[in-house]
Amino acid sequence: MMRMVALRLALTLPILLGVSMVAFALMRALPGDFAQASAGTTTISVEALDQIRRNLGLDRPIWAQYLAWLGNALQGDLGLSFATRRPVLGELVPRFLVTAELTLIAGLMALTLGTCTGLASARLRGRVDWIVRGWNSLLLAVPNFVVATLIVLLAGLYFPTIGIFTYVPFAEDPVANVVSLLLPALSLALTVSVTISENTRAAVLEVSSQDYVMVARAKGLTASAVLRDYLVRNALTPVITVTGLQMAALLGGSILIETIFTIPGMGQYLFESVTTRDYPAIQGIVLVAASVVLLVNVAVDIAYARVDARVSYD
Amino acid sequence: MVAIGAAMLALLLLVVVAGPSIAPFNAAKTSANSLAGPDATHWLGTDSIGRDLLSRLIVGGRGTLTITFVAVALALAAGLVLGLVSGYVGGKVDLVIMRLLDVVFAFPVFLLAIAVVAALGPTIRNLIITIAIVYTPTLARVVRGPVLSVKRWDHVEAARSVGVGEFRIAVVHVLPLVISPILVQTSLTLANTIFTVTALSFLGLGPPPPDPNWGSMLAEARQFMELAPLTVIGPAVAIVFASLTFIVLANGLREVLDVGNR
Amino acid sequence: MSPLLEVRDLTAQFARDGVPATVVKGISFDIAPGESVGFVGESGCGKSVTARAIMRLAPEGSSVAWGGRIGFRGQDLLTLSEREMRDIRGRRIAMVFQDPMASLNPVMSVGAQIDDILRRHTGLSRKAARQRTIELLGLVGIRDPAIRADDFPHQFSGGMRQRVLIAIAVSCQPDLLIADEPTTALDVTVQAQILRLLNRLRRELGMALMLITHDFGVIAGMVERVNVMHGGEIVEAGPIDQLFAAPTHPYTRALLAAVPRLDGARPGG
């Protein structure tokens, strides 16, 4: 088991390295000069500009710049924000936690909704199957920012007095904090639930036709025991994988949702940084988000191996 | 399913081709009649500076859809080349290509799109390049999978044994067999691209104004939502209709071409 | 002695694409307690459907309409509720299926798959059930049963898996064991071992055996009476010696002609 974990991490390392290169290269490919950009809109003398270049190490060869940047990043130094002149990491961490919470709630919602509709669709078939599949097709076609906009619109029209959209920090009131994230999480979860639902449906149908389910019924086990130990446990494995892979979609979607609901998370931070051209911040967010997605995928693989004894350990 | 999808697609294509000529008003013409509700003249009402919303929806649709089609065409071309080469040549070439695509794949699509557009600047050209980049890996993988399994099949072996050239084998024998999953995936990618294009525009990272775009129209309508809530409906329905078109098409193609559920 | 199983005018009808198809066309037969009876016929003749009817198991996702009467220990199985039927399955009537590779749950240890039927029908404690599971694994010839009980199906060969499935089937000492092509998916050498095991267990546990096969060679030395099925009907029935010596129905003769050797060299007995 340890070997498998180590191997999986080793395979991820080159990809992480590639991700860091892309994050680095993106901000060096800017039209114009990184130093110029760092100065923002203020006019600046040529000498001062040279000074900034030296400070940022821009006079060195590009690979040396990359190594220095990577070295710093590994030690948690993502550079100074152009906008606030404070370390990017310090700005990023509290926002990341907010996004992580939002993503987690949304993920749980999507998993619950997806597995329930998928299971109902596969077990009850007929009309239920029909309704679930139609509902899924429709959900798939409605982008999360449209859902979010419509939710805000409806709530604004019918419940203008309720302050459900005001984000409450966790430290202030944990319950109100979670409540304030429910609608944003729902608009994120709907699209993602479709993938989970379709995969659950396919997996349950596939498992239902397996001989071991017939054997379980021939044992006289109760319907709920057959469902729990034979159907769901076998169908769950692919569903776990799919849910993990949806992390990327959830993180990407949170950019829009946080902007619409004004939640001070990483997505909103990215949006702000893009508008203020705060390139070190953008770089940091891209690096952190992509790394998190990669690591979650590794975790999913490991969880998969634990649930399914058939996956070989080497 | 395919017929419904095709009919919906035809309507979208009509908007792309005919565009401004079927719009009832000049989409850029402002008037004093701002934020008006739907009536006989302005079927969907007017926006904050009195422009006809239906006309803007049609002209904006042309913009949104053109970007979508061009970007997906580029991604498809790149995905086909990379996937065919990777799956067909195999070995080290395959390894290198797949690892490179893995790197792009590691980014959440929308995050990468925002970062690239932010770095390059929000122009139509850059938007198209960005979307082509983020969707190439998906398409390349869909091509590579079947190529890997198909190239060992008997009739491919047979063609090789009678001395048919490798390039000819790839194009004549392998390509037709991978066409079904590609068609389905392309259709799904079109739906996703509609989402990405409009979402970027919604955040203000789309084509710069005054070009209308469904995403920016929705964002604008959101600002005046309390005054004119119904202006949100037009762009929202348009976006949903367009992505629904490609989803219906993909499901239909999947049934007709008998492609597996994944 | 009154029969254990008394099947009268059994019919089974499937709906395929909305068109009903009758697969079993009114068959009748008896099985006495402890008796072993063979059902022989080619695939699609209705023998497996007959077995499933006795278990009241419809294939997943399809509907079957059963007709007639299946008398078992004084009640008609076809009139029982699903809940009552669940008390019969595994407890009174058990079944061994054709494909051992696909018949075990891949994510449960083999021990757990015997524990669950024991706990369902016998009310044994978790610990006592595991003790009995280990005994059963030993009974069907699995070495180091206490250790192997925690292994997963993929760590067992096809023959070993069929032994596990037989352990599951006999775990609650059923009155009737239905074996539906239990050796078809196995290697020839393993086939003989499995047949010997079934025969031994039947005698030790005093079960009746309903052995379903397409191969006359398999039932030689295994059963006392044979029912030959063809096209959803029983075309010939009788003691096995009589059938081998003087088959009356042309279909029986054709089946017998397909068996390479009938000189009693088959294993078992």
Chains A and B touch (3+ CB pairs under 8 A): yes
- A76 vs B: CB within 8 A: no
Give the per-residue pLDDT at C268. Answer: 37
Q: How do residues C38-50 score in pLDDT, each as one tens digit? A: 999 888 888 999 9
C99: pLDDT strictly greater than 80: yes
CA distance A310 to A287: 34
Q: In C30-44, which positions are buried (b, 16+ CB within 10 angstroms) versus exposed (e)?
A: ebbebbbbbbbbeee
Q: In B129-149, which positions are buried (b, 16+ CB within 10 angstroms) versus exposed (e)?
A: bbbbbbbbbbbbbbbbebbbe
- Residue in chain C lying closest to A234 (CA): C107
C268 in a structural domain: no
CA distance C165 to C218: 19
Domain containing residue A215: CATH number: 1.10.3720.10
- Residue in chain A lying closest to B101 (CA): A15
Cβ proximity of B174 and B156 under 8 Å: yes
B200 CB contacts (<8 Å, ≥6 apart)?
B113, B114, B117, B122, B127, B206, B215
CA Rg value for chain C: 18
- Per-residue pLDDT averaged across A15-23, rounded? 88
The residue to which tokens 């920016």 are assigned = B216
CA distance C16 to C3: 34
How does strand C19-31 pair with strand C5-16? antiparallel
Whole-number percent of chain B with pLDDT over 70: 94
- Residue in chain A lying closest to C168 (CA): A219
Domain tally for chain C?
Answer: 1
Give the per-residue pLDDT at A32. Answer: 57
Calculated CA dihedral for residues B207, B212, B213, B217, nearest 10 degrees = 120
CA distance B50 to B33: 5
Count the Cβ atoms, other than its own, within 10 Å of residue B192: 22
CA distance B205 to C146: 66
State the smallest CA–CA distance between residue C19 and chain A in angstroms: 18
State the smallest CA–CA distance between residue A230 and chain C in angstroms: 7
Domain range B49-257, its CATH number among 1.10.3720.10, 3.30.420.10, 3.55.50.30, 2.40.50.140: 1.10.3720.10
- Per-residue pLDDT averaged across C220-242, rounded? 91
Instruction: Closest CB to A19: pick one of B103, B191, B262.
Output: B103
Instruction: Closest CB to A255: pick one of B111, B204, B243.
Output: B111
Between A296 and C78, the more confident residue is C78
Which residue range(s) make up the domain with C246? 5-257
Residues in chain B: 262
Q: What secondary structure letter does DSSP report for A61?
A: -
CA distance A169 to C49: 64
Domain tally for chain A?
Answer: 1
Q: How do residues B8-62 score in pLDDT, each as one tens digit? A: 888 888 888 887 777 777 777 777 677 677 776 777 777 777 777 888 888 888 8
Tell me which of A121, A125, A215, A310 to substitute to probe the interface with C (most C C-beta atoms closer than 10 Å): A215
C269 in a structural domain: no
C95 in a structural domain: yes
CA atoms within 13 A on the CB side of A148: 28
Q: In A60-76, which positions are buried (b, 16+ CB within 10 angstroms) versus exposed (e)?
A: eeeeebbeebbeebeee
CA atoms within 13 A on the CB side of C114: 35
CA distance B243 to B234: 15
A314 in a structural domain: no
- Which chains sit next to A, with 3 or more Cβ pairs under 8 A? B, C
Q: How confident is the model at residue C16 (pLDDT cuts 50, 70, 90)?
A: low
State the smallest CA–CA distance between residue A282 and chain B in angstroms: 7
| Residue B209: φ, ψ to 5° | -60, 155
My answer on whether omega of the bond before C247 falls inside 30° of 0, hence cis, is no
A144 CB contacts (<8 Å, ≥6 apart)?
A187, A188, A190, A191, A253, A256, A257
Q: A18 and B99 in contact by Cβ < 8 A?
A: yes
State the smallest CA–CA distance between residue A56 and chain B in angstroms: 18
pTM above 0.90, yes or no: no
**Taking CB atoms and an 8 Å cutoff, what residues of chain B touch A29?**
119-120
Q: How far is C-alpha A269 from the chain's CA centre? A: 15
Q: A230 and C117 in contact by Cβ < 8 A?
A: no
A252: pLDDT strictly greater than 80: yes
**Taking CB atoms and an 8 Å cutoff, what residues of chain A touch C154?**
309-310
Count the Cβ atoms, other than its own, within 10 Å of residue B252: 18
Q: How do residues A36-59 score in pLDDT, each as one tens digit? A: 666 665 666 777 777 777 776 677
State whether residue C201 is helix, strand or coil: helix
Across chain A, which distance is largest between two alpha carbons, in Å? 86
From C142, C151, C147, C145, select the one nearest C132 (Cα to Cα): C145
Q: Which residues pair with C31 in a beta bridge?
A: C5
Instruction: Closest CB to A143: pick one of B112, B119, B243.
Output: B243
- Residue in chain C lying closest to A310 (CA): C154
How does strand C5-16 pair with strand C93-96? unpaired
Q: How far is CA B168 from CA B84, B156, B164, B175, in A?
A: 13, 11, 7, 10
Complex-level ipTM: 0.89
Count the Cβ atoms, other than its own, within 10 Å of residue C92: 18
C265 in a structural domain: no
State the smallest CA–CA distance between residue B122 and chain A in angstroms: 11
Cβ proximity of A58 and A100 under 8 Å: no
- Which chains sit next to B, with 3 or more Cβ pairs under 8 A? A
Which residue range(s) make up the domain with A120? 98-264
- Residue in chain C lying closest to A307 (CA): C107
Domain containing residue C44: CATH number: 3.40.50.300
From B225, B250, B247, B249, select the one nearest B236 (Cα to Cα): B225
Q: A309 and C55 in contact by Cβ < 8 A?
A: no
C215 in a structural domain: yes
Q: How confident is the model at residue A186 (pLDDT cuts 50, 70, 90)?
A: very high
Instruction: Closest CB to A15: pick one of B106, B194, B203.
Output: B106
Q: A146 and B120 in contact by Cβ < 8 A?
A: no
